Amino acid sequence: MDEAHTFGFYGEGGRGYCHEQAVTKDVDFIMSTFSKATASIGGFLAADEKYCTLLQATSTPYIFQACLSPPDAATILAALDEIQHNPQHAATLHENNRYMRSELLARGFDLGSSQSPVIPVYVPDLEKLYTLCAQLYLDGIFSVPVVFPAVGVEEGRIRFIVNATHTRAQIDRTVEVLTTRARALEVIPG
């Protein structure tokens, strides 16, 4: 199970979607990243002990691994402590996610079916996608285009990552600027 978009903000203590759905024992492998909820680098793969030797012997990233630096490890540990002891961060994150999604949907954006705080805005026209990202950058809004081969040829999208510290004013400004730019490019109806 890929928990990259769920680890840290779903389930008790941020343990992820498998934990929230009470299916952890039914899943052989759970992997996630340390680059989202814990604001660091790297990632992890969790599995039953019976699979660990196989993974260690066959996984190229494991064989040729580079260790996390002490500051990155400290950041991850501090973030995990914060996640576990302050569940209000996850609650605020989910509220910000719901709010931004509802505002984008109300303006006609295609968000697909994802529900995570990584919000995809689909723009299948590659030229418009790159233009939109460049314009947003010039407007002071950082966005990342995701294009083929990471996604299907006509499944290009911009990813917005909302977090618990974003204010309503920041979300509203992002939505308004995105809406203005997307309408001018005819990505959404005017």
Judged against a pLDDT cut of 90, whether residue 114 lies above it is answered with no
Query: What are the φ/ψ torsions at residue 157 (nearest 5 degrees)?
Result: -155, 160
3-state secondary structure of 186: coil
Domain 88-184 has CATH 3.10.450.350: no
Residue 114: which of 159, 66, 146, 68 has the closest Cα? 159
pTM for the whole structure: 0.83
Per-residue pLDDT reduced to its tens digit, 125-163: 999 999 999 999 999 999 989 999 999 999 999 999 999
Task: Domain ranges for the chain, please list them.
Answer: 12-85, 88-184
Q: What residues are paired with 2 via a beta bridge?
A: 31
Torsion sign (Cα): 38, 42, 43, 49:
negative
The identity of residue 153, as a single letter, is V
Residues 6+ apart with CB under 8 A from 188: 107, 108, 109, 179, 182
